[in-house]
Amino acid sequence: MSEASLEQPVIRHRRADRRSGLVAASIIGAALLAGISTAQAQKLTVWSGYPEMEPFYRHVADGMKAKFPKLDVSIEAIPLREHEKRVALALASGGNNSALVIELNAASAARYANNDLLPKAPANVAAFVSDTANFSDFFRDRASVGGTVYGVPLFRGQVSLFYNLDMFKAAGLSKPPATMDEYNTYAEKLTQRDASGKATVSGWSLRLSGGGQGVAEKFWINLFQFGGSILTQTADGKWKSTLANEAGRKALKQYLINIHKTKTVTPEMPADAEAFERGQTAMFIRESWVIGDIAKKAPTLAYATAPLPRGSMSVPVNLYVSAKGAEADAAWAFALAADEPENQLWMLKNVGWLPNRAGLDTTAITSSVPAFSAFVSNPKGYELFAVPAIDVSDEVLTRVAAKLVAAFADAKLADDDKAIDALLLASETEINEILKREGMLGK
């Protein structure tokens, strides 16, 4: 199966019938909430891996008070890696006795569902998620395992280019880069150096270190622009690595050239959103939450956003429930309330994460904050893809990241295509051995 298979089905943003769809969706959501009357005297806890989501969950809980005045919601939003450890310990031990609403990305949740550590969604929730008026097939499938709904789609991490308008103007650049070759030439023009030639402001902040999965995901996004993929679904429904090819070589070489040849970025330089907000990098690729972060930390920063040349990774995050009986009713009621159109738009405007609900009219938000347009108004044919929701995705990305971080530090690789190909082949072989071990290696 072609590389595009990983990205199927491509999300097609609907513009027609938004208003009628919104009204219908609201009616459906209200009916579902009204049917869960036992939620009115329950306690539940929301676990999140994104601290910036705490106000959103508080907003949802406050909005439920009219219908559920006795519902007590505790919100615990902590950094993602700590959240992942907390969820793993709680679900694997089975020792948690409280009603939990758990925020998880689809790939991580799949392994818990496959091991019966997460319950299936009740029939009314499954029907809500499966209704195409509420969610596209892309999000329904990523809230499901083996065709069974386990979660409620909430938001997605989707990236675009952020670029500093003042730095672009000073470099004589009037528009964002449109090809990966232009990313290289733009990075050279935008890099600011001291008298010795050492870069003081990076032209393009690349993810070179940090959390394992993040390094691999960011590399995968660049790889996708060259037509490549780390994992590709095969015709038999299984998976194989397709990393060792021309696209893989181009993607890795682009990193190496920027680090070691043109020296537009180094592992030691400030990076990511913080560097962008402080004027320490001219452009970088990141999710929409950065818009809200800039508004708080660098409100006078002159910047814009732009879509990537081919498309973007989309990391769907869903709400799952770990509870029984009436407590489960309260937890599912909360998950459904989080998907009410008003709440989804509130999340976009105030937090910056992209809502997954279909039929939302975001015009008012994009009019007041144009930076959101690159995320919610994608060009025709723009493709979104997701990390496969299979048990070994985390392990695969961690292994790939380890090899990438080592490669980024090897200056000799920048001039040695054969060595790059050998490294990619070794990584591809390692991934396929993992898939074979789990009985998931495709033909």
Please name the helix (run of DSSP H) or strand (run of DSSP E) that holds residue 433, with its range, or none: helix 417-437
Mean pLDDT, rounded, of the chain? 88
Predicted pLDDT at 96: 61
Residue environment code for 358-390, b if the CB has 16+ CB neighbours within 10 A, otherwise e: bbbebeebbeebebbbbbbebeeebbbbbbbbb
Predicted pLDDT at 41: 58
Percent of the chain as helix, strand, coil, to the nearest 5: 50, 15, 35
What phi and psi values does residue 284 have, to the nearest 5 degrees?
A: -160, 165
User: Sign (positive/negative) of CA torsion 427, 433, 438, 440?
Assistant: positive
For the residues of 271-300, what is the DSSP string, one character each?
Answer: -HHHHHHTTSBSEEEEETHHHHHHHHH-TT
pLDDT exceeds cutoff 70 at 129: yes
Looking only at the bridges linking them, the beta strands covering 303-306 and 192-193 are: unpaired
Choose the weakest-confidence range: 115-119, 323-327, 366-370, 404-408: 323-327
For 324: left if phi > 0, alpha if psi spans -120 to 50, otherwise beta; the answer is beta
- Give pLDDT tens digits for 227-261: 999 999 999 999 999 999 999 999 999 999 999 99
Q: What is the arithmetic mean of pLDDT over 21-34? A: 46
| 210: helix, strand or coil | coil
Q: In which band, very low, low, confident or very high, does the pLDDT at 210 lie, cut at 50, 70 and 90?
A: confident
How many Cβ atoms sit within 10 Å of the Cβ of residue 350? 15
Q: Per the structure block, which two tokens stand in for 319?
A: 């709400």
Q: Alpha-carbon distance 389 to 110, whole Å?
A: 6
| 269: helix, strand or coil | coil
Q: What is the DSSP letter of 94?
A: T
CA 1 to chain centroid: 24
pLDDT exceeds cutoff 60 at 45: yes
Q: What is the arithmetic mean of pLDDT over 156-172? A: 97
pLDDT exceeds cutoff 90 at 211: no
How many Cβ atoms sit within 10 Å of the Cβ of residue 279? 15
pLDDT exceeds cutoff 70 at 36: no
Q: What is the dihedral of CA 240, 156, 256, 233, to 10 degrees?
A: 10
Q: What is the DSSP letter of 193?
A: E
For the residues of 316-379, what is the DSSP string, one character each?
Answer: EEEEEEE--HHHHHHHHHHHHHHTSHHHHHHHHHHT-PEE--TT---HHHHHH-GGGHHHHSPP
Q: What is the arithmetic mean of pLDDT over 139-158? A: 94
Predicted pLDDT at 3: 30
Q: If you average pLDDT over each of 15-24, 59-68, 94-103, which comes out highest?
A: 59-68
Predicted pLDDT at 139: 92
How many Cβ atoms sit within 10 Å of the Cβ of residue 255? 21
Q: 260: which residues sit within 8 A by CB, 6+ positions away?
A: 411, 414
pTM of the model: 0.80
Strand partners, 148: 145
Q: 170: which residues sit within 8 A by CB, 6+ positions away?
A: none
Helices (H), 72-231: 80-93, 106-114, 123-130, 137-142, 165-170, 180-190, 212-225
- Give the angle subtended at the CA of 201 by the CAs of 198 and 203, to the nearest 5°: 100
CA 146 to chain centroid: 22
Tell me how far apart the terminal alpha carbons of the chain are, to the nearest angstrom.
Answer: 9
Predicted pLDDT at 282: 98
Q: Using alpha carbons, select from 3, 421, 2 the residue that is nearest to residue 252.
A: 421
Specify the higher pLDDT residue, 232 or 314: 232
Q: In which band, very low, low, confident or very high, does the pLDDT at 434 lie, cut at 50, 70 and 90?
A: very high
Q: Alpha-carbon distance 266 to 258, whole Å?
A: 8
Predicted pLDDT at 97: 66
Predicted pLDDT at 16: 37
| 395: helix, strand or coil | helix
Q: What is the arithmetic mean of pLDDT over 139-152? A: 94
The percentage of the chain sitting over the pLDDT mark of 70, rounded to a whole number, equals: 89
CB 356 within 8 A of CB 341: no
